[in-house]
Structure 1
Amino acid sequence: MKQWIKAAGLGLVILSSSMYAQAAEAAQKVGYVATAQAMQQLAQRYGVAEKLRGEFKDRIDELRGIESRMKTKVDKMKRDGELMSSSERTKLQREMQSLESDYKLKAQALQEDQRRRGAEEEQKLVQKIRQAIQDVAKREGYDMVIDANAVLHANPQDDLSSKVISAVK
């Protein structure tokens, strides 16, 4: 009976250790990608900043025109303010306030639109990078790919960043 218990116990130990070995082997090949670096390089490759600047160029120029008109009116107030009648001064101040409120409104709308479009472009790049990571991982036989920021130590051979960047279409 004692030998049977020992044999069963030994069998359990062997069985459980083989399960742990299989579990450890299952997630054996782990790679990493510097996603922030990939995003930056791909944004430069696709000219995202230039594209967005071109898209909002007219509105930026309009804001610069308003700034110029405001500066002209401020200079006029400084230069001729004491010589103006109170009604002229009031009229000029109202024009300046109107320009300032128009500027603030348009600048805020522009900022919001730029933020929204920037997020859209960033999301497109994220999707491309994700697809490239999946393709490279499948092709190279990696079971798991993590962000390089989460890695404390890894073999440089498991760095898939350059492969992912070149795989983005």
Structure 2
Amino acid sequence: MKTFTKTLLAGAFLSASLVSAPVMAEQKIAVVDVQAVIQSLPQLADIQVRIQEEFKDQIQAVNSKQEEFNFLVQKLQRESATMSEDEQKALQEQIIALRDELQQTGQPLQQSIERRQGEERNKLLGLIKQAIDGIAAKEDYDMVLNATAVPFAKTEHDISQKVQEQVSKAK
């Protein structure tokens, strides 16, 4: 009876290994470097230009306030020795008020710009996902992994160039 059980278990393990080996061998896996694809897209430059144009007036306003702030700080440093105490105090108060105003306008502007960049980046990631899905379906890949998560992959498994070409054509 013991020999029968051992033989049965050995047969079960052998048949399981024979079944799983071909299944594993038949899987077709690709890798894609999403960050490299994003950085190489021509749409990235267009996005930067559009965002700069969208926030141009606000950026100019903050930049002019920053220049005025820098000028007043330099003036205080240059002329503090020849200024009266009241003049120095008035200039310092003006600098503090301008600094506070810069913080109140600059920080929300920076957040708005970052939010818009995130929105546009998400649109690009959506296009990249569609391209990956299309290429994976067309070339019958079972799995596509991010190249940064894979320690090693042969170059023939890398579909980054194909994804980049397909997304570059999309508008």
TM-score by length of 2: 0.79
Q: Which residue of 2 aligns with 1:57?
A: 56
CA distance 1:9–1:89, change in 2 (3 Å): closer
1:3-152 → structure 2 map (5 Å cutoff): 12-13=12-13, 15-26=15-26, 28-42=27-41, 47-77=46-76, 78-79=78-79, 82-84=82-84, 86=86, 88-152=87-151
Can you give the 5+ residue segments of structure 2 that lack an aligned partner in the other structure? none
Is the 1:136–1:167 Cα contact (8 Å) retained in structure 2?
Answer: no
Task: Measure how far apart 1:34 and its partner are.
Answer: 1.0
Alpha-carbon distance in 1 for matches of 2:8, 2:60: 83
Cα displacement (A) at 1:147 = 1.1
- SS for the counterpart of 2:118 is helix
**Cα distance in 2 for residues equivalent to 1:111 and 1:118:** 11
- Higher mean displacement: 115-124 or 13-22: 13-22
Aligned equivalents of 1:133 and 1:144: distance in 2?
10
Contact 1:52 1:114 in 2 (8 A): yes
Residue by residue over 1:81-109, the C-alpha shift from the partner in whole angstroms, topping out at 9 and shown as x without a partner, is 734472x5443332222111101211111
SS at match of 2:144: strand
Aligned AA (1:16): A
Is 1:43–1:125's contact at 8 Å kept on the other side of the alignment? Answer: no
Task: Provide closer, same or farther for how the CA distance between residues 5 and 83 of structure 1 changes in structure 2, counting only shifts above 3 A.
Answer: closer
Q: Distance in 2 between matches of 1:67 and 1:90?
A: 20
Return closer, same or farther for 1:138/1:96 CA change in 2, 3 Å cut-off: same
Count of matched residue positions in the alignment of Structure 1 and Structure 2: 167
Tell me by how many angstroms 1:76 deviates: 4.5
**Contact 1:133/1:164, CA 8 A, preserved across alignment:** yes
Partner Cα separation in structure 2 for residue 32 and residue 80 of structure 1: 63
- Is contact 1:43–1:49 with CA below 8 Å preserved after alignment? no
Superposition RMSD in Å: 3.0
TM-score (norm 1): 0.80
Contact between 1:42 and 1:125, CA under 8 Å: does it hold in 2?
no
Runs of 4+ in 1 over 6 A off after TM superposition: 1-7
Deviation at 1:71?
3.5
Q: Distance in 1 between matches of 2:14 and 2:143?
A: 28
Helix, strand or coil: the match of 2:136?
helix
